[in-house]
């Protein structure tokens, strides 16, 4: 069974909503659309207050190379262009739309007919993807078209589709694969065409046997697409770990993943690409897993982007009495938020409601150098050492021990028997060290 | 509605705690304890009880009154130190000497360095070596194992290691390896039964408390090293000699339970292997050419001191360090 070579852990999967159908979440009364739902520059607003918009109307335009278009997920009137406190707790620029009805742009094909043929060439496909505002919706929200245009000296050899879903609790990709297998396959073919490769691997962990079987069956009708079952191990969905697991190549420290010849896209992104290219549909809705042990009605919800967290939580039965923490994303890498009125974005893959018992960290005790963090680190770092030197402010030692390679997967803190907040220290130190390195590079250039 | 907690990721934990690691090792020591009760009787029980109690009490007193902090005796590390110290002592050792050993182990070996996690040397080992140097006679008078309820009166005799060091070929070949596997041999009472110790090893591997690297590298090194230096006396002799070196003295107890102490052993796989090999070599060198018949304690003690250096030079293999294109 294939998997990545260094480190990793296997947390309790807790996939409470595995096998649940995708249900459509109710339309919000007000949608709040953040101008920055992707990595890169925030998009530039192109509508004015009072403007009438339909579903799919362009609201904001990509502002630079690494940026993405944003379309209206609802129909109605732009009520204000202001800022909103998002999940991070900071105020961010956003467009408020009062929802009226559900009127879509005529250009969007809303039928369920499968469109297999794609006659566009690579450039036209990439333009279409950029135009429709597609970003990596596995969580990183990197604009998809940028990843499809690697630097000229790096030539993609294979496409890897990330259908690993190694985060505990999340099942949105799993549900999508079971219900939209044909569309995903076409999306993968379009992506292959866009980067001129003839081979694609879809990596799926073996805790989703039904998805593996279904996609294997579908792959018989498509040339060059191979399903790769993977051992269940976190963080296999990390781009570097997935490339290592599937084609046995390791991205060098500091290099672009495409330097290995692999371009990685999330399976839900492949579906979004299908809808964008074949159906003219911008990225205006996505599947969000709303889950937690105390939730009455957890599920995989197809939700318009810009709906508030509370709307989705209500759809899942309302916030339980014993709620202690709300996490955007999965429990290993997700961000906790205290603001349930925050809007969802393109990257919101899940809303996890942890009970009060699960929400608190146990007290930390001294490091006993058991080296479980060293064994768990998928990047081959020494978390106990890094956290110690960062605590002392020895950033030069942290740099010489490659703190910048940390992918913040959380395996170290997860496995520490002394409950030490290893990743907290490392994240802080990584930020400091990267700033020092940038300043030094800037100095050297002078 | 409770207040919502906001903290950085990860939001889940493996559930493993320091106390679980410590109690896991204690569970792994149960078979060896049962065997020692069978062969050494009340003496083994009294020494163990005294050692554990003194270690826990000394740790509590030092943490509470000297360091004026919150005592952490519940995490089981003082109990473990007590048990390991006891297992390295003869079962007829006067109990006041045991108390002194415990005081040194906890007071100097552990708390003086800053407590759990900060000590350079394995506390139990520090206590044992202190006693060995301070009370050489009492520490090297081993009762022969006897199945008497009052093992305190058992007669004393030469241990396997003395035979291996000073005996001739016939004496060595006449040693019954089976008896040593079961534990019917002279020595510190926790170290005599190879089978009981190996059961503990298997348990710790299964529970993933330790990895195989340190014990296996020590045992393999001891076996190969003693095999090759005795090969001139014939293949059959060399095999028996190497086998006896592995099963005698504190080697298995040391390799499985003492050298694998988290705090004082290296953190990387490569470092663990180097550490194990060095312990194996030093042990045999002391056993054969040194002043003491047993070198295991000293070997681990020396390598404890080298561990920070090993951690400095033996680094884990980094992701992307060797770029493969195949």
Q: Which of A360, A359, A357, A291 is nearest to A325 (CA)?
A: A359
Task: List pLDDT tens digits, range A134-168.
Answer: 999 987 899 999 999 999 888 999 999 999 999 99
How many whole angstroms from its chain centre is CA A13? 18
Name the residue in chain A with its Cα closest to that of B209: A370
Buried b (16+ CB within 10 A) or exposed e, A9-25: bebebbbbbbebebeeb
Answer whether A253 sits within 8 Å of B321, measured CB to CB: yes
Q: DSSP letter string over A359-397?
A: HSPPPP-------HHHHH-TT---HHHHHHHHHTT-HHH
Pair of tokens at residue B227: 């095999």
Angstrom distance (rounded) from CA A28 to CA A347? 18
Query: Using CB atoms and an 8 Å cut-off, which of residues 207-226 of chain B contact chain A?
Result: 211
Mean local confidence (pLDDT), B167-187? 70
pLDDT at site B144 = 67
Residue A278: φ, ψ to 5° = -90, -25
Among B5, B117, B120, the strongest candidate for a mutation testing the A interface, having the largest count of A CBs within 10 A, is B5
Cβ separation B317–A253 shorter than 8 A: no
pLDDT at B152 over 70: no
Closest by Cβ to A417, choosing from B8, B18, B267: B18
Question: Chain A residues with CB inside 8 Å of B6's CB?
Answer: 89, 325, 336-338
Which burial class, exposed, middle or buried, applies to A221 when counting CB atoms under 10 A from its CB (0-12, 13-18, 19+)? exposed
Tell me if A423 and B317 make a contact (CB, 8 A cut-off).
no
Mean pLDDT for B105-126 is 94
Q: What is the pLDDT of residues B194-231, one digit of tens each?
A: 889 999 999 999 999 999 999 999 999 999 999 999 88
Nearest residue in A to B114, CA atom: A366
Q: Least CA distance to A12: which residue of chain B?
A: B14
Please tell me the distance from the alpha carbon of residue B42 to that of residue B187, in angstroms, as a whole number: 16
B320 touches chain A (CB under 8 A): yes
User: What average pLDDT does range B14-19 have in this prediction?
Assistant: 92
Centroid of chain to Cα A425: 24
CA dihedral defined by A122, A128, A130, A131, rounded to 10 degrees?
160
Please determine, for residue B154, whether its predicted confidence score (pLDDT) is greater than 50: no
Is B324 a residue whose pLDDT tops 80? no
DSSP for B25-59 reads: HHHHTHHHHHHHHHHHTHHHHHHHHHHHHHHHHHH
Q: How far is B319 from chain A (nearest CA, A)?
A: 5
Tell whether B308 is within 8 A of chain A (Cβ). no
Q: Which residues in chain A (153-212) have CB-CB distances under 8 A to chain B? A: 168
Candidates A255, A377, A415; nearest CB to B14: A415
Least CB-CB distance to A336: which of B2, B5, B317? B5
Q: What is the pLDDT of residues B264-312, one digit of tens each?
A: 999 999 999 999 999 999 999 998 888 877 889 999 999 999 999 999 9
- How many CB atoms lie under 10 A from the CB of residue B1? 10
8 Å CB contact between B254 and B304: no
Tokens encoding B134: 């301070």
Size of interface A-B (CB pairs under 8 A): 173
DSSP designation for B230: S
A16 touches chain B (CB under 8 A): no
On whether any CB of chain B is under 8 Å from the CB of A88, the answer is no
pLDDT of residue B145 exceeding 70, the answer is no
pLDDT at res. B183 = 67
Contact: A382, B14; criterion CB under 8 Å = no
Residue B326 has pLDDT above 60, yes or no: no
Q: What does the alpha-carbon distance between residue B278 and residue B314 come to, in Å, rounded to a whole number?
A: 14
Confidence of residue B190 (pLDDT cuts 50, 70, 90): confident
In which band, very low, low, confident or very high, does the pLDDT at B153 lie, cut at 50, 70 and 90?
very low
Is the minimum CB–CB distance between B73 and chain A shorter than 8 Å? Answer: no
Q: Read off the pLDDT of each residue in B113-119 and give the average, rounded to a whole number.
A: 91
Q: Which pLDDT score, from 0 to 100, does residue A446 have?
A: 74
Average the pLDDT over each of A215-219, A228-232, B49-53, B170-174 and give the range with the smallest value. B170-174
Q: Give residue A400's pLDDT.
A: 94
Do B58 and B102 form a contact (C-beta atoms < 8 A)? yes
Residue-level pLDDT, tens digit, chain A, 446 residues = 899 999 999 999 999 999 899 999 999 999 999 999 888 899 999 999 999 999 999 999 998 889 999 999 999 999 999 999 988 889 999 999 999 999 999 999 999 899 998 889 999 999 999 999 999 998 789 999 999 999 988 899 999 999 999 999 999 999 999 999 999 999 999 999 999 999 999 999 999 999 999 999 999 999 999 999 999 999 999 999 999 999 999 999 889 999 999 999 999 999 999 999 999 999 999 999 999 999 999 999 999 999 999 999 999 999 999 999 999 999 999 999 999 999 999 999 999 999 999 999 989 999 999 999 999 999 999 999 999 999 999 999 999 999 999 999 999 999 999 999 999 999 999 999 999 999 999 988 77
Residues of B in contact with A253 (CB under 8 A): 318-321
| Domain ranges (residues) in chain B | 18-139, 160-180+207-313
């Amino acid at each position: 069974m294939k998997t990545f070579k260094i480190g990793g852990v296997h947390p309790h999967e807790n996939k409470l909503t595995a096998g649940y159908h995708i249900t459509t979440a109710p339309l919000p009364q007000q949608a709040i659309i953040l101008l920055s739902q992707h990595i890169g520059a925030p998009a530039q607003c192109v509508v004015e207050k009072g403007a009438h918009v339909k579903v799919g109307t362009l609201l904001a335009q990509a502002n630079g190379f690494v940026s993405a278009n944003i379309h209206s997920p609802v129909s109605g009137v732009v009520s204000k262009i202001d800022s909103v406190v998002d999940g991070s707790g900071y105020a961010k620029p956003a467009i408020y739309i009062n929802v009226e009805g559900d009127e879509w742009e005529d250009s969007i094909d809303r039928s369920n007919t499968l469109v297999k043929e794609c006659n566009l060439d690579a450039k036209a496909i990439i333009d279409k993807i950029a135009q429709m505002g597609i970003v990596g919706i596995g969580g990183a929200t990197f604009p998809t078209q940028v990843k499809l245009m690697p630097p000229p000296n790096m030539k993609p050899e294979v496409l890897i589709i990330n259908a690993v879903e190694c985060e505990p609790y999340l099942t949105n990709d799993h549900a999508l694969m079971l219900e939209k297998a044909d569309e995903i396959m076409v999306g993968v073919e379009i992506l292959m065409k866009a980067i001129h490769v003839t081979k694609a691997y879809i990596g799926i962990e073996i805790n989703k046997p039904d998805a593996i079987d279904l996609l294997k069956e579908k792959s018989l009708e498509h040339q060059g697409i191979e399903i790769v079952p993977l051992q269940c191990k976190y963080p296999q969905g990390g781009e570097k770990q997935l490339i290592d697991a599937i084609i046995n190549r390791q991205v060098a420290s500091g290099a672009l993943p495409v330097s290995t010849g692999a371009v990685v896209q999330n399976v839900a992104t492949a579906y979004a690409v299908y809808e964008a290219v074949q159906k003219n549909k911008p990225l205006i809705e996505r599947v969000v897993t709303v889950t937690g042990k105390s939730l009455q009605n957890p599920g995989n919800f197809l939700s318009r982007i810009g709906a508030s967290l509370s709307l989705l939580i209500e759809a899942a039965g309302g916030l339980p009495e014993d709620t202690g923490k709300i996490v955007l994303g999965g429990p290993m890498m997700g961000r906790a938020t205290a603001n349930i009125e925050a809007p969802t974005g393109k990257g919101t893959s899940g809303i996890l409601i942890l009970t009060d018992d699960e929400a608190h960290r146990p007290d930390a005790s001294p490091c006993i150098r058991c080296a479980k963090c060293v064994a768990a680190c998928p990047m081959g770092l020494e978390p106990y050492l890094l956290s110690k030197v960062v605590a002392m402010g020895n950033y030069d030692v942290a740099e010489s021990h490659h703190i910048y390679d940390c992918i913040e997967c959380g395996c170290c803190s997860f496995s520490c028997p002394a409950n030490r907040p290893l990743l907290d220290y490392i994240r802080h130190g990584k930020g400091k060290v990267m700033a020092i390195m940038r300043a030094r590079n800037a100095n050297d250039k002078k | 509605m409770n207040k919502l907690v906001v903290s950085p990721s990860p939001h889940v934990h493996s559930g493993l705690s320091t106390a679980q690691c410590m109690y896991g090792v204690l569970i792994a020591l149960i078979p060896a304890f049962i065997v020692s009760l069978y062969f050494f009787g009340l003496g083994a029980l009294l020494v163990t009880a005294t050692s554990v109690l003194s270690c826990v009490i000394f740790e509590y007193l030092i943490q509470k009154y000297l360091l004026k902090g919150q005592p952490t005796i519940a995490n089981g590390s003082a109990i473990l130190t007590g048990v390991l110290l006891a297992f390295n002592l003869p079962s007829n050792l006067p109990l006041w000497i045991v108390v002194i050993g415990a005081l040194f182990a906890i007071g100097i070996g552990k708390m003086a360095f800053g407590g759990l996690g900060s000590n350079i040397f394995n506390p139990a080992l520090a206590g044992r070596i202190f006693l060995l140097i301070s009370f050489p006679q009492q520490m090297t008078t081993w009762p022969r194992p006897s199945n008497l309820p009052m093992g305190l009166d058992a007669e004393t005799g030469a241990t396997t290691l003395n035979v291996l060091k000073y005996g001739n070929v016939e004496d060595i070949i006449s040693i019954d390896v089976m008896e040593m596997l079961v534990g019917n041999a002279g020595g510190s009472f926790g170290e005599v039964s190879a089978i009981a110790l190996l059961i503990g090893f298997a348990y710790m591997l299964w529970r993933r408390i330790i990895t195989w690297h340190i014990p296996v590298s020590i045992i393999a090194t001891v076996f190969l090293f003693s095999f090759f230096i005795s090969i001139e006396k014939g293949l059959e002799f060399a095999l028996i000699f190497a086998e006896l070196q592995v099963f005698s003295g504190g080697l298995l107890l040391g390799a499985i339970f003492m050298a694998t102490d988290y705090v004082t052993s290296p953190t990387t796989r490569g470092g663990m292997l180097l550490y194990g090999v060095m312990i194996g070599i030093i042990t045999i060198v002391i056993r054969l050419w040194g002043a003491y018949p047993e070198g295991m304690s000293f070997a681990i003690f020396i390598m404890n001191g080298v561990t920070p250096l090993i951690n400095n030079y033996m680094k884990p293999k980094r992701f992307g360090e060797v770029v493969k294109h195949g």
